[in-house]
A and B are shown apart, each in its own frame.
Chain A
């Protein structure tokens, strides 16, 4: 599947992930050791009222589910040719705290296609990505970006 074949407005469910307190603390001890991420007592006394997941943990799980989804589809015609390289992302919003035991459901929607003057062999696809809780409320959103190979001419 090439850049030219990507349809806009198509949503894929990527899967779900349940955050345990142990898992959240393990991530945050390494990468985001703020009291409300690592210390149940301090978290209870903070303005969050209890342990919440690092926003980077919630975002990293998105990547985990994207890879797992790609592996399930490996070999399908709709799989991207070549590796998944990204120049970065835009507008990451942490809208609602993720608390122990919460399950988040992740999805991705193709949103925008950009031709690259500097790289005629590549296009940039932007996606809208959501993590939603069991009540259907959005917990995290961001715009992802990925390079896709163009269909060879001729």
Chain B
């Protein structure tokens, strides 16, 4: 059921998403196709690297965040896609068996001048493992305005 529209995402609104368990198989599978560097593929090489152990490709981390967004928000939102991402910070390595959660805070929300049926919402997403923040993503999302005349 679609119950999240532009009007439901005011500035300061907080969204909690989760949980996602990272697996060794998923890290190696993604890296094999898209980012075949030794520290994403092989324990021995990873232990000798500056990241000191197997870690997910940063692009895999982004893909995981997208999946968590789909499962926790987009599937019930009147989403119109995204024009882009202002910033992603890969702060700490994402490791096998990490249990990830995500928290978003709406930073700005405005109705498109050229398309009054569309709202533009900037959300800052923080990704956490059980101990600390591991990534940050400042994303712009487009959401349908439920009542264009009132907004």
Which segment of B4-12, B59-67, B96-104, B105-113 sits at the interface?
Answer: B59-67
**How many CB-defined contacts (below 8 Å) exist between A and B?**
82
Q: Which 5 A-B pairs have the closest CB atoms?
A: A31-B63, A88-B89, A93-B84, A92-B85, A60-B34
Q: Does B74 contact A (CB under 8 A)?
A: yes
Bound-complex Cα distance A34 to B33 (A): 22
| Residues 84 to 103 of chain A near chain B (Cβ within 8 Å) | 84-95
Q: Which secondary structure dominates where chain B touches chain A?
A: mixed
B59 touches A56 (CB 8 A): yes
Q: Which of A7-15, A61-69, A110-118, A124-132 contacts B (4 or more CB under 8 A)?
A: A61-69
Q: Which residues does chain B contribute within 8 Å of A30, judged by CB atoms?
A: 63, 67
Quick check: is B15 within 8 A (CB to CB) of the other chain? no
User: Does chain B have a CB within 8 A of A108?
Assistant: no
Contact, CB under 8 Å: A94 / B64:
no
Residues of B near any A CB (own CB < 8 A): 30, 33-37, 39, 49-51, 57-59, 62-64, 66-67, 70, 74, 79-90, 135-136
Instruction: Provide the main secondary structure of the chain A interface.
Output: mixed
Partner of A86, one of B49, B58, B70, B83: B58
Question: Other CB < 8 Å A-B pairs besides A60-B35, A63-B57, A91-B87, 14 of them?
Answer: A32-B66, A32-B67, A34-B79, A54-B66, A60-B33, A61-B34, A63-B34, A83-B39, A86-B90, A88-B58, A88-B88, A88-B89, A89-B88, A94-B82
Instruction: Report chain A residues within 8 Å CB of B58.
Output: 86, 88
Q: Which residues of B contact A90 (CB under 8 A)?
A: 86-87
Bound complex: CA of A47 vs CA of B37, how far in Å? Answer: 38
Per-residue 0/1 for A41-68: is the Cβ within 8 Å of any B Cβ (1 yes, 0 no)? 0000001100000111001110110010
CB-based contact A94/B83 at 8 Å = yes
A25 to chain B, nearest CB (A): 14
User: Could you tell me which A residues sit within 8 Å of B by CB distance?
Assistant: 30-34, 36, 47-48, 54-56, 59-61, 63-64, 67, 82-95, 142
- Chain A residues with CB under 8 A of B35: 60, 63-64, 67
Measured between beta carbons, the chain B residues less than 8 angstroms from A92 are 84-86, 88
In the assembled complex, the Cα of A63 lies from the Cα of B36 at a distance in Å of 9
